[in-house]
Amino acid sequence: MNREKNIRWDKVFYGRQWVKDVVETIRTKDVLQATFMRRYLLRAMMAGFIISIISVFVLAIKASLIGQASPGIVNIVGSIAFSFALVLILFTNSELLTSNFMYFTVGMYYRVIKPWRVFKIFMLCFLGNILGALVFFLILRMSDSMTPDMLKQLSEVIHHKTMTANFLELLAKGIFANFFINISLVIAMQIDDILAKMFVMMFGVAVFAFMGYEHVVYNACLFIGGLIYHVDVLHFWPAVLNIIAAFIGNYIGGGLIIGLFYAFLNDHHQFEKE
């Protein structure tokens, strides 16, 4: 009877293997942060570097297409291009804050890591992401890669993110952004084929980018770029408000709606009690 129940449980939910994979990932990240903090920071910096370079790639695409195609076409092409970022981050084992929201919430649910350590990892990861963006834009500033049209696009994006929405609107859009990113990760974890994994991850990111949802690391990278290039529309407090709202929203969307939700659904002990 127990064997039949266990088989049924693995058919209905992802099963023990999903839980085992997530918990193993959490423990690896925790050991890396605790024992090799500089290496963990460098991995986080690489994620910020990748998001920044892809963000500039998207600015270049939009700057070249505006006036040549309809706004909808420009937006969908830019969104698909931005989705390359998550693929590059995951396949280089870089550390992105928003994907860690899901993993470590699962870890706290199963009590394999304490909340204060999770908070420390979040802050270290976010710092690394920001430093990676800073390094990228400082290098980029020495080149002529950022054209006037690209700077115009950067100014428009920053203005939209900091001056056109209140805290609750930013929070809601932050929830949706990380929901799509982390639901893609959950699905990708069930797939062995590399191309299928890439498609699923790109799909989720493209949706959030096309809809204009708020991603805390992406926004922080844009603000770093605006700071380096002295963008006039960048103002301190509106940018801080955006980061706080996006951070909280991203945690709700990825940590609670996805991480906590699937941690509970795949809790074998809870299933046995029922």
Angle 66-72-76 from CA coordinates, rounded to 5°: 95
Domain-wise residue ranges, the chain: 14-264
Cα end-to-end distance, the chain, whole Å: 14
Query: pLDDT value at position 199?
Result: 92
What distance lies between CA 106 and its chain's CA centroid? Answer: 16
In three-state secondary structure terms, 7 is helix
Query: pLDDT value at position 22?
Result: 79
Overall pTM surpassing 0.75 (yes/no): yes
Structure tokens at 152: 């115009």
Query: pLDDT value at position 16?
Result: 63
* CA distances from residue 56 to 52, 125, 140, 253 in whole angstroms, order as listed: 6, 22, 10, 26
pLDDT in tens, the chain (274 residues): 455 555 555 555 565 666 777 778 788 777 777 777 889 899 999 999 999 999 999 999 999 998 888 999 999 999 999 999 999 999 999 999 999 999 899 989 988 888 999 999 999 999 999 999 999 999 999 999 999 999 999 999 999 999 999 999 999 999 999 999 999 988 888 888 999 999 999 989 999 999 999 999 999 999 999 999 999 999 999 999 999 999 999 999 999 999 998 888 877 665 444 4
Rounded CA gap, 75 and 36, in Å?
Answer: 40
CB atoms within 10 A of CB 10: 16
Query: pLDDT value at position 163?
Result: 94
Rounded CA gap, 91 and 105, in Å?
Answer: 22
Query: pLDDT value at position 1?
Result: 45
Angle 155-90-85 from CA coordinates, rounded to 5°: 25
- 14-264: in CATH 3.30.70.20: no
Rounded CA gap, 146 and 154, in Å?
Answer: 10
User: Which residue from 121, 133, 144 is spatially nearest to 60, judged by alpha carbons?
Assistant: 144
Rounded CA gap, 137 and 196, in Å?
Answer: 32
Burial environment of residue 57 by CB neighbours within 10 A (0 to 12, 13 to 18, 19 or more): middle
